[in-house]
């Protein structure tokens, strides 16, 4: 299928977890603005320094910074048949900017209520070597790699609350925006990781 897919949903909905499976299914490269920003922070670049303040506070990084990152990323040859956006767009101006640089063919919204989100995020652990995502209870890592797992700096209960506020105020309105364009596919994100993956596959298989 030609064109880009957007993975949409609140923080901790499971976008990153599901992205790897959709990449395998579609062959489209994953473009995660969160991962790009974390790489910039760890490189210590000017962009990283600016972004870090927003990320640590659970606020959205300014649209101009994000749009610039995406425009550059889409120039790479692997993006020519479309990509899988994870965590982008997150505001109406980002979505409008995206319209001029990519053809979005589906927006998959993973729906999870706020009360499940805090638990998911506070228990999340990342493997810094592979980027794999685990959860202390719902998706435990193999014992042999447990010691090297890290917790994201913004994965505290306090920061999650700010991220949820930002989501409801600035990002959630995009669901209606994409629904009006006939591009929104909503899936229940409350099942197991495999069940959610199956719902996503069913929703995009025919596009
Ligand atoms: P970003 O990295 O994009 O974070 P996010 O959207 O808050 O999403 P997360 O990565 O927290 O969650 P996820 O949905 O990927 O869930 P995951 O699969 O890990 O952004 C971080 C920050 O960068 C933002 O706050 C902002 O400052 C900035 N930023 C990024 N993009 C931006 C943009 N476009 N504009 C402006 N600013 C931007 O799963 C979470 C946990 O749940 C894991 O432990 C997982 O194992 C577990 N889990 C997953 N699925 C299930 C399931 N079905 N059942 C039980 N547990 C599950």
Distance 38 CA to ligand 1 centre (A): 12
pLDDT in the model for residue 28:
97
- Helix axis angle, 157-166 relative to 46-57, nearest 10°? 100
pLDDT in the model for residue 173:
97
pLDDT in tens, 103-117: 999 999 999 999 999
Once rounded to an integer, what is the mean pLDDT over residues 34-53?
96
pLDDT in tens, 149-166: 999 999 999 999 999 999
Please work out, in degrees rounded to the nearest 5, the angle formed at the alpha carbon of residue 165 by the alpha carbons of 32 and 41.
Answer: 40
Nearest-angstrom CA–CA distance, 10 and 170: 11
- CATH number assigned to the domain with residue range 4-28+81-201, chosen from the 4 options 3.40.50.300, 1.10.3720.10, 3.30.420.10, 3.30.1380.10: 3.40.50.300
Q: Is 120 a pocket residue for ligand 1 (Cβ < 6 Å)?
A: yes
Provide the pLDDT confidence category of residue 206 given band limits of 50, 70 and 90.
confident
How is the chain split into domains, by residue range?
Answer: 4-28+81-201
Atom of ligand 1 nearest to the CA of 134: 46
Residue 2 has pLDDT above 90, yes or no: no
Catalytic-role residue among 38, 90, 120, 125: 90
Helix (H, G, I), strand (E, B) or coil at 69: helix
DSSP 107-123: EEEEE--HHHHHHHHHT
Tokens (6 digits) for 59: 């606020």
pLDDT in the model for residue 46:
94
**Rg of the chain over all Cα atoms, to the nearest angstrom:** 16
Catalytic-role residue among 38, 120, 124, 125: 124
Residue 109 has φ and ψ, to the nearest 5°, of -100, 115
In a 13 Å sphere around the CA of 79, the CA atoms on its Cβ side amount to 16
Q: Is 33 a pocket residue for ligand 1 (Cβ < 6 Å)?
A: yes
Q: Is 192 a pocket residue for ligand 1 (Cβ < 6 Å)?
A: yes
Percentage of the chain exceeding pLDDT 70 = 100
């Amino acid at each position: 299928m030609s064109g880009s897919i957007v993975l949409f949903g609140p923080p901790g909905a499971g976008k990153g977890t599901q992205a790897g499976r959709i990449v395998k299914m579609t062959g489209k490269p994953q473009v995660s603005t969160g991962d790009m920003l974390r790489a910039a922070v760890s490189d210590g670049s000017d962009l990283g320094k600016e972004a870090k303040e927003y990320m640590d506070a659970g606020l959205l990084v300014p649209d101009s910074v994000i749009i610039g990152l995406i425009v550059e990323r889409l120039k790479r040859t692997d993006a020519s048949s479309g990509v899988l956006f994870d965590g982008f767009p997150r505001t109406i101006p980002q979505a409008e900017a995206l319209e001029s640089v990519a053809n979005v063919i589906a927006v998959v919204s993973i729906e999870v209520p706020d009360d499940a989100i805090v638990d998911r995020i506070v228990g999340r652990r990342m493997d810094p070597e592979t980027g794999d995502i685990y959860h202390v209870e719902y998706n435990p890592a193999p014992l042999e790699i447990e010691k090297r797992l890290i917790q994201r700096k913004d994965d505290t209960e306090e920061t999650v609350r700010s991220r949820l506020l930002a989501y409801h105020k600035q990002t959630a309105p995009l669901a209606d925006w994409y629904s009006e364009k006939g591009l929104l596919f909503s899936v229940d994100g409350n099942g197991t990781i495999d069940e959610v993956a199956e719902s996503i596959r069913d929703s995009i298989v025919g596009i």
